[in-house]
Amino acid sequence: MIRRPNFVFIITDQHRADHLGCYGNPVLRTPHIDSLAARGTRFDRFYVANPVCMPNRASLMTGRMPSLHGVRHNGIPLSCDHVTFVELLAAAGYRTGLVGKSHLQNFTGHGPVVGFETAPGKIAPPEALREANRRPLKGPDYDMEKEPLWSDPSHNVRLPFYGFQEARICTNHGDMAGADYRRWLEQKQPGASSLIGKENAIPDQRRSAPQAWRTAVPEDLYPTTYVKELSCDFIEDHASDGTDSPFFLQVSFPDPHHPFTPPGKYWDMYDPDRIDLPSSFDKGDIAPLLWMRDQLARGVADRAGPTAPFAVTAEEARNIIALTYGMIAMVDDAVGEILATLERLALTDNTIVIFTADHGDFMGDHGIMLKYLLHYQGLIRVPCIVADPAARDASTVRTDLAGTIDIAPTILGRAGIQPFNGVQGRDLLDPNAAAPDGLIIEEDSVFRLFETDVPDRVRTLVTDRWRLSFHQAGGWWELYDLESDPDEVENLWDTPNRPAVTDELVRHMLSRLVALNDTSPLPTGRA
């Protein structure tokens, strides 16, 4: 019988592609992640299916677009009716584990942003019939990650959890992480929960910026350390369990997502004064950018919330980038220890290590921060590295278009497992799987951002040269020539010199949207 490989799948949170040394960052040092690229394949044009946490993580797990699995935006749990690639691994004999952020279900405990609105003068449907699907995505099956429930010592996610036979969960981000992490924190140092959060931070005005504070949580108690330690424990336990079963371990870091709270030495590891602003800083004149800059200039911008992008000053941008580099550096050190554990246990030669992120961050591009609705490269393009010890060519860079929905079929293909009907991605390691000539990115918001009358829905087409986006709220378009304008500063849609290729791109987008319609379920009869 062929020896099946192990998998260590590492995913970071809100981490753009060019925030790694191996992707060309001239300042940030990430030697351990870079070592994966040095012995593996780095995908240079790797894009998310949706640039928001829950939708793209659901696409990662299912290999399907958000419009099919139904997690169109944050706040919708992934239905337990949807099959994940991890379930197929488990069914084929893999030991499956998750350490860190899952975010396949809601974790804040806050109520929804929108709800069913009863129309005046009409008979409202009973509650059980208010959705097109009568199977509600709420109740015990979908409340497992909610932070308020973790105050009960007996609460845990029920296993298997979307195919994971073992799961140790982090909710939230930065030093505010909760769930299993908070229990670990208290076990390590009773009373240490009093160190978390802005109200307990160490005063330091040198790094002043929105959603940034110098955490009082020490390095050895920070969430990144938790994820590292429990991941190493999983690998150690597998090596000593006496079985020949392969394993799949998902290592899911909550960083470098805001708030920006790198601990200890990582707080001032990078000097903001030595960080160049993005070349697009304060450039671009589309309406949302102008609105955010105006909000900042008038001193009325809401920059404390986690759910809307905002404009920053040049000093704030440098501070946030420096702190983000510190968070990534800590993740890189953790990755180094996980790789060292594999090496020490003689598992490196049969373990495929994959590194990616759930989405990016504007991170100062055009003078704004965070995410949502503006599909600039910093948001939609993320790292993806596959280090396969069986691969013939090391240090390979691929420029073909690839994305999140390709991860599931790639892992299944390498494990020798046929995907379920309805998987939409391709096996990136299969030389016979043709690369697409364009990728679709979906985003449906529940927030009325930039003073729009209704929440926006965006569909984007990315090709080798072009990025075309349609905004349903307002019916406006963006078109950028990524070859001559890599910073995406000049929107060519409304210019007198709109490229002749525009109509072809619109048809291309429509064709791709049709191609992404569902093929599941298969018919149960002729008619």
pTM over 0.95: yes
Task: Give the whole-angstrom CA distance, residue 461 versus residue 452.
Answer: 23
Are 21 and 28 spatial neighbours (Cβ–Cβ below 8 Å)?
yes
Residue 509, domain member (yes or no): no
Quick check: is 11 in a domain?
yes
Structure tokens at 205: 């005005």
Range of the domain at 322: 6-109+137-433
CA distance 24 to 18: 6
pLDDT of res. 307: 81
Q: Which two tokens stand for residue 495?
A: 């210019």
Residues in the chain with pLDDT values less than 50: 1
DSSP annotation string for 20-45: SGGGT-SS---HHHHHHHHTSEEESS
Instruction: Give how far the C-alpha of residue 460 lies from the chain's centroid of Cα atoms, to the nearest Å.
Output: 17
pLDDT at 409: 98
Q: Confirm if 59 and 66 have CB atoms less than 8 A apart.
A: yes
pLDDT of residue 44: 98
| Residue located via tokens 């004149």 | 285
Output the six-digit token pair for 523.
């018919």
Which residue type sits at 293? R
What the block records as the tokens of 281 is 């800083």
- Tally Cβ neighbours within 10 Å of residue 369: 26
* C-alpha torsion sign, points 255, 260, 266, 271: positive
- Tokens describing residue 157: 């996610």
pLDDT at 243: 81
In a domain, 461, yes or no: no
Q: CA-to-CA distance for 359 and 76, rounded, in angstroms?
A: 18
Output the CA–CA distances (angstroms, integers) from residue 440 to 198, 422, 473, 489, in the order listed.
38, 17, 18, 21
Report if residue 127 sits inside a domain.
no
Examine residue 33 and state whether it is found in any structural domain, yes or no.
Answer: yes
Task: Report helix angle 314-344 to 223-240, nearest 10.
Answer: 10
Q: Which positions ≥6 away from 192 have C-beta within 8 Å?
A: 185, 186, 217, 221
- pLDDT for 2 equals 67
CA 255/CA 267 separation, integer angstroms: 13
281 occurs within a structural domain: yes
CA distance 82 to 59: 11
Give dist(CA 383, CA 17) in Å, integer: 4
Residue with tokens 């940034």: 212
Q: What is the pairing mode between strands 247-252 and 6-12?
A: parallel
**Of 1, 19, 37, nearest in space to 353 by CA:** 37
Q: Give the β-pairing of 166-171 and 310-311.
A: unpaired
- For residue 48, being part of any structural domain is answered with yes
Structural domains of the chain, count: 1
Q: What is the per-residue pLDDT for 452?
A: 87
What CATH number has the domain bearing residue 102?
Answer: 3.40.720.10
Task: State yes or no: cis peptide before 259, omega within 30 of 0.
Answer: yes
The beta-strand segments (E) located in 234-316 are: 247-252, 310-311
- Domain membership of residue 523 (yes or no) is no
Do 30 and 16 form a contact (C-beta atoms < 8 A)?
Answer: no
Structure tokens at 246: 């392969």
Rounded Cα gap, residues 156 and 167, in angstroms: 9
Query: From the CB of residue 160, how many other CB atoms can be counted at a distance below 10 Å?
Result: 15
Which pairing describes strands 95-101 and 247-252: parallel, antiparallel, or unpaired?
Answer: parallel
Quote the tokens at residue 507. Answer: 């048809």
Return the DSSP state at 527: -
CA-CA-CA-CA torsion sign (285, 291, 294, 299):
negative
Q: Which two tokens stand for residue 183?
A: 């229990």
What is 445-486 written as a DSSP string? -SS-GGG-SS--EEEEEE-SSEEEEEETTTTEEEEEETTT-T
Amino acid at 225: T
